[in-house]
């Protein structure tokens, strides 16, 4: 049986992040990808030119259509845009009997806001408690938990601060620190450090979405959280290494890097 994985996220018209990155990752990792669109962005390699949220009713209806008939073995959330959408999605995933990977997307790589400041409280009190794994980057940790991380050592305190909000596991992504690309996975008792060489490639659009979707795909296949995260890290590291130029700015990671034999 092919496991079903659902992404609840925003559309990136440029195809590098959001829903598009999620579905490509799911295909590459051998699961059936499905989507609930929360917002539509006009986006390319230069930034986000516009964003439009969907009504809560449209988000709920998409979710129910998928879960009630097809069923899901894992859910991933990304851009949720507003407090109203965060609350609705948190309630939906809390009521679904499947692991949830929550990527608390705050701003794009170019600094465009993808979440209203007024939604942060709902992220802390509703969304994070419903997460099996939360995957904040360092900017999101600062926004959500008020903890600034400037060195690998400080990632431990950041993880503890995020775990206070109730996710079962947290993966602190250290992609924005200099040096190796180091992430910390912990549930408060086990600690797993994931280290990969930093690829000196500016075409890294979509790393966060890709990593979270890869984790959800692994969980849907029945992997444990640490196993799914190790495999997802390998996948995203290869995708960053193969990232390619597109447009005039930051190009996407290559979701198809494992399939390429002809370029």
Ligand X SMILES: Nc1ncnc2c1ncn2[C@@H]1O[C@H](COP(=O)(O)OP(=O)(O)OP(=O)(O)O)[C@@H](O)[C@H]1O
Ligand Y SMILES: Cc1ncc(COP(=O)(O)O)c(N)n1
Judged by the rule CB under 6 A, the positions of this chain that interact with ligand Y are: 9-10, 12, 17-18, 41, 43, 78-79, 105, 108-109, 114, 205-209
What is the widest separation between alpha-carbon atoms in the chain? 48
The DSSP symbol for 153 reads: G
In the Cβ-directed half-sphere of 85, how many Cα atoms lie within 13 Å?
Answer: 27
| Selected range binding ligand X among 35-43, 78-86, 202-210, 221-229, rule: CB under 6 A | 202-210
Q: Which is nearer to ligand Y, 78 or 167 (CB)?
A: 78
Smallest gap from Cβ 218 to ligand Y, in A, equals 17
Q: Which is nearer to ligand X, 174 or 251 (CB)?
A: 174
25, 41, 135, 204: the catalytic one is 204
Strand 100-102 relative to strand 74-77: parallel, antiparallel, unpaired? Answer: parallel
State the DSSP H helix or E strand holding residue 87, giving kind and residue range, or none if neither: helix 83-94
How many residues are there in the chain? 263
143 binds ligand X (CB under 6 A): no
Q: Which does 18 bind (CB under 5 to 8 A by kind): ligand Y, ligand X, none?
A: ligand Y
76, 109, 173, 221: the catalytic one is 173
**Binder among 32, 124, 203, 233 for ligand X (CB under 6 A):** 233
Q: Which does 79 bind (CB under 5 to 8 A by kind): ligand Y, ligand X, none?
A: ligand Y
CB 233 within 8 A of CB 194: yes
Smallest gap from Cβ 160 to ligand Y, in A, equals 23
Give whole-number Cα distances, 76 to 46, 59, 92, 102, 154, in Å: 26, 14, 12, 6, 27
Q: Which of 207, 217, 198, 208 is nearest to 254 (CA)?
A: 207
**Binder among 24, 109, 124, 221 for ligand X (CB under 6 A):** 109
Question: How many chain residues interact with ligand X (CB under 6 A)?
Answer: 20
148 binds ligand X (CB under 6 A): no
Q: Which is nearer to ligand X, 42 or 196 (CB)?
A: 196
32 binds ligand X (CB under 6 A): no
24 binds ligand X (CB under 6 A): no
State the DSSP H helix or E strand holding residue 19, giving kind and residue range, or none if neither: helix 18-28
218 assigned to active site: no
- For residue 77, the SS3 value is strand
Q: Which does 167 bind (CB under 5 to 8 A by kind): ligand Y, ligand X, none?
A: none
Residues 6+ apart with CB under 8 A from 93: 8, 75, 77, 100, 102, 130, 131
222 assigned to active site: no
Q: Which residue has the tokens 């029945």?
A: 222
208 assigned to active site: yes
170 binds ligand X (CB under 6 A): no
Q: What are phi and psi of 24, to 5 degrees?
A: -65, -40
Catalytic sites, residue numbers: 173, 204, 206-209
Binding footprint of ligand X on the chain (CB under 6 A): 109, 137, 173-176, 181, 183, 196, 198-199, 204, 206-208, 211, 233, 236-237, 240
């Amino acid at each position: 049986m092919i496991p079903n994985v659902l992404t609840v996220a925003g559309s990136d018209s440029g195809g590098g992040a959001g829903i598009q990155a999620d579905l490509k990752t799911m295909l590459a990792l051998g699961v059936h990808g499905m989507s609930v669109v929360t917002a539509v962005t006009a986006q390319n390699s230069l930034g986000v030119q516009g964003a439009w949220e969907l009504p809560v009713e449209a988000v709920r209806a998409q979710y129910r259509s998928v879960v009630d008939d097809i069923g899901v073995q894992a859910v991933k959330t990304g851009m949720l845009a507003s407090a109203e959408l965060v609350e609705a999605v948190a309630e939906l995933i809390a009521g679904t009997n499947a692991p949830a990977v929550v990527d608390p997307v705050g701003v794009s790589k170019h600094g465009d806001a993808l979440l209203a400041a007024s939604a942060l409280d709902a992220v802390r009190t509703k969304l994070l408690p419903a997460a099996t794994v939360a995957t904040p980057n360092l900017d999101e940790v600062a926004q959500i938990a008020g903890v600034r991380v400037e060195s690998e050592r400080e990632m431990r305190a950041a993880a503890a601060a995020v775990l206070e909000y109730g996710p079962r596991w947290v993966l602190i992504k250290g992609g924005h620190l200099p040096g190796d690309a180091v992430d910390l996975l912990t549930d408060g008792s086990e600690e797993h450090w994931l280290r990969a060489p930093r690829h000196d490639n500016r075409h890294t659009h979509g790393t966060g979405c890709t990593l979270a979707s890869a984790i959800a795909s692994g969980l849907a296949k029945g992997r444990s959280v640490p196993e799914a995260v190790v495999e997802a890290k390998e996948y995203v590291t290869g995708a960053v290494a193969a990232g390619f130029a597109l447009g005039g700015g930051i190009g996407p990671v290559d979701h198809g890097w494992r399939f390429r034999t002809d370029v």
